[in-house]
Amino acid sequence: MSLYIKICGLTSEAAVAAAVEAGADAIGFVMASSPRQVSVARAAELARGVPSTVDVIAVSRHPAQSLVDEIARVLRPARLQTDAGDLPHLVLPAGLGVLPVVRSGLPVPEPLPERFLYEGAHSGAGRVADWDEASRLARHGGLLLAGGLSPANVAAALRAVRPAGVDVSSGVESAPGIKDPELIREFVSNARAEARNLCGVAT
């Protein structure tokens, strides 16, 4: 299987274009409190013209039902990303997929979702997640590794965790909320190269 690469926290047309051109599989727009936060309407503007081969993911944390409804109506993303513990309290509109977040230090859902994002306690803080725990969980589900990844450490992360995918935000920024196109390209290139080394097939 190909490595799934998500570039998160995009706030500009240039950042979206850089992620798409670099070959990312998914882009994320943050609708939770963050230097990268955008409105649902702004996310919809940025997502306009994104190829159907690239997943658009709405990133939230503890969202109100009204926000989920607005996201589904205005942005129409492939998936809503939010903490796994939020999902039992939400009514998900038809056609809206989910990307549950499992956080280090918190109880792990039983059973694990088929695909989930593994993150540290605080999203977007640039702190490396617990790779040992991530490695254990990756054996039982489609884990996307997030937390403190960058072009410099993504290869090591792939070797240590063997995830189904990786997610980067602050690690490809020149300043909080400002994506650097060259760092995006470097991250995707380094991740793809290491994935090829690990599995011995083209990714």
pLDDT along the chain (203 residues), means of 10: 92 98 98 94 97 97 96 97 94 94 85 90 73 94 94 97 97 95 98 91 45
Q: Given this model, what pLDDT does residue 203 score?
A: 44
Q: Given this model, what pLDDT does residue 125 score?
A: 62
Query: Tokens 């939230």 belong to which residue?
Result: 60
Specify the 3-state DSSP secondary structure of 173: strand
CA distance 95 to 5: 22
Residue 202, in any domain of the structure: no
Residue 185: closest CA among 199, 168, 160, 163: 168
Q: Provide the CATH number for the domain around residue 173.
A: 3.20.20.70
Residue 201, in any domain of the structure: no
Residue 29: closest CA among 64, 52, 59: 59
Strand spans (E) along the chain = 4-8, 26-30, 55-59, 79-83, 97-103, 115-119, 142-145, 165-168, 173-175, 178-179
Residue 79, in any domain of the structure: yes
Owning domain of residue 82? 4-196
Q: How many domains does the chain have?
A: 1
Residue 203, in any domain of the structure: no
Does this model's pTM top 0.75? My answer is: yes
10 and 29 in contact (C-beta within 8 Å)? yes
Q: Given this model, what pLDDT does residue 109 score?
A: 83
Beta strands at 178-179 and 173-175: parallel, antiparallel or unpaired:
antiparallel
CA distance 22 to 134: 26
Q: Given this model, what pLDDT does residue 29 score?
A: 98
Residue 18 sits at φ, ψ, to 5 deg, of -65, -40
CA distance 132 to 27: 26
